Amino acid sequence: MRKTVLFMHTSLDNFVAGPQGEMNWINANDEIFTYASQSTRAADTALYGRKTYEMMESYWPTAADQPNPSAHDLEHAEWYNRVTKVVISTTLQGSEKPRTIIFSERIAEQVQALKATAGKDILIFGSPSTVHFLMQENLIDEFWLFVNPIVLGKGIPLFKGLTHTIKLDLIKRIAFDSGVVCLHYKNNRETV
Q: How many angstroms separate the CA atoms of 113 and 103, rounded?
A: 11
Q: What is the pLDDT of residue 119?
A: 95
Kindly give the interhelix angle for 107-115 and 128-136, rounded to the nearest 10 degrees: 80
- Per the CB < 8 A criterion, the answer to whether 5 and 141 are in contact is yes
Closest to 63 measured CA to CA, from 50, 49, 80:
80
Residue 190, pLDDT score: 67
Neighbour order of strands in the sheet with 121-125: 100-103, 84-88, 43-49, 121-125, 4-11, 142-148, 181-187, 168-175
Helix (H) or strand (E) holding 128: helix 128-136
- pLDDT tens digits for the chain (192 residues)? 999 999 999 999 999 999 998 999 999 888 998 898 888 889 999 999 998 999 999 988 898 898 998 888 889 999 999 999 999 998 886 667 888 999 999 999 999 999 999 999 999 988 899 999 999 999 999 999 999 999 999 999 999 888 889 999 999 999 999 999 999 999 998 655
- For 28-152+161-180, give the CATH class: alpha beta
* The pLDDT value given to residue 38: 83
Beta bridge partners of 147: 10, 181
Give residue limits of the domains in the chain: 28-152+161-180
C-alpha dist (Å) from residue 162 to 89, 138, 159, 172, 190: 20, 10, 7, 24, 16
Residue closest to 103 by CA, chosen among 137, 144, 148, 77: 137
